[in-house]
Amino acid sequence: MTLMTGEQYLESIRKLDLNVYMLGKKIENVVDNPILRPSLNSVKATYELAHKSEYEDLMTAKSILTGEKVNRFTHLHANTEDLVKKVKMQRLLGQKTASCFQRCVGMDAFNSVFSTTYEVDQNNETHYHENFKDFLKYVQEKDLTVDGAMTDPKGDRSLPPSKQKDEDLFLRVVERRKDGVIVRGAKVHQTGITNSHEVLVMPTIAMKPDDKDYAISFAVPTDSEGITIIVGRQSCDTRKIENNADIDVGNKEYGGMEALVVFEDVFVPNDRIFLNGETEFAGMMVERFAGYHRQSYGGCKVGVGDVLIGSSALITEYNGITKASHIKDKLIEMSHLNETLYACGIACSAEGHKTKSGNYQIDLLLANVCKQNVTRFPYEIARLAEDIAGGLMVTMPSQKDYENPVTGKFMEKYFKGANGVSAKKRMKVFRLIENLTLGTAAVGYRTESMHGAGSPQAQRIMIGRQSNIEQKKELAKAIARIED
């Protein structure tokens, strides 16, 4: 098996013929584009850390398909220890990049599609599971990055897919051929799609028999004919293309990206199809993927939270307020909230169980509790960071002003901090906090904490289903000595 290096990964993306548009223009080279490159660097880190001996245990695993060493992002969880290591790996990468590193969705899709296809085949005598195993072996052998694509535009959300006025608002099969199918539609919020070799598509909701054409799961290369990628805007994204704005960017090296991905009559060969009309299993695939991905947030968001807490502590030092009791208490509260998120991620992993297919699934109730907390706690952590930082975080003049001989001397004089801390040092920390709470990284931290892996209401619905109220009522009856 091949574990690609970071440089090999960059070259592999450079070879793709992607059809990408951003800010109204076609992007010919995503690798060297200054807006997209930080997101590519974040994925690159997942390859680089896998080659470091101190991180090998977290970043790599033994494949249950081949017995070979693979990057954990291409791995099927073989036990609860794997589930726990996944969360620890995600926290590590959050700490290293302070951003979204984009391979989690594909990893979570692998594990949900693997177990679902097994049960579809058991019930319907299909061969989707073998198709998927062959695809995943290929991914592991080449050490590929795969974009997991679940969310459809949805249109009128009061209507099922087959009742939409525009039939393409949920991705669908428009033609079935002997050698495969033709699909049309779109997927939104596609994390890291410009940095991925393949895209793994899944249904977005549970479906009924009338929705047969929409119950489709498959994988194709991201540069397949008919795929168009339209990159989404992020706050402060054009700072990355300004001259002398390295400090203003905040997190210069790393970032994330999202996109609308359009499928215009894309051909999918039979051996790349993992579900094709079996509507009764669409909900299972969605629920399992959502569970895995909600577990993920107990790792990645915590790692980014570590950086935000560290930035907040650093600015208190630069501002000369480390001894203030209310500052100490705010930092403690930030750590308390962050570690609570981590505890939920570890708990749902430790309580995981083996599926019929052989891989391990998290505890769905605890995974949804984990993500429900993520919709709240990062917002409070960010609020406290902004509180601690102060107003200069959002009124600090630009790096160009700092480097201007006329205005720079005034900035250095009036913006210096405690004990002679330079204005430049304070500026760097302010911009990092701004980036994490309001800028491009906020897409992968604060805002995405709300809507990633499903909205808060989606988790509450699952918590209601999984919390077993009837069993709890029986416990109360037993204690109260009530007989029916």
Q: What are the catalytic residues?
A: 100, 104, 191, 258, 293, 297, 300, 448
- Cβ of 205: how many Cβ atoms within 10 Å? 17
Residues 6+ apart with CB under 8 A from 470: none
Residues 6+ apart with CB under 8 A from 475: none
Q: Order of strands, edge to edge, in the sheet holding 146-149?
A: 146-149, 198-201, 216-221, 273-276
Residues 6+ apart with CB under 8 A from 315: 388, 389, 390, 426, 429, 430, 433
- Cβ of 46: how many Cβ atoms within 10 Å? 25
- Between helices 80-97 and 325-350, what is the axis angle to 10°? 150
Segments in 320-415 forming alpha helices (H): 325-350, 364-374, 377-389, 392-395, 399-403, 408-414
Phi, psi of 186 (to 5 degrees): -155, 160
The distance of Cα 471 from the centroid of its chain, to the nearest Å, equals: 34
- Cβ of 133: how many Cβ atoms within 10 Å? 16
Phi, psi of 258 (to 5 degrees): -130, 160
* Tokens describing residue 369: 């509790």
The CA distance from 365 to 358, in Å, is 21
Phi, psi of 71 (to 5 degrees): -65, 135
Residues 6+ apart with CB under 8 A from 469: none
- Closest Cα to residue 381, out of 320, 433, 459, 323? 433
The distance of Cα 135 from the centroid of its chain, to the nearest Å, equals: 22
Q: Which residues of 406-432 are buried (b: 16+ CB within 10 A; e: fewer)?
A: eebeebeeebbbeeebebbbbbbbbbb
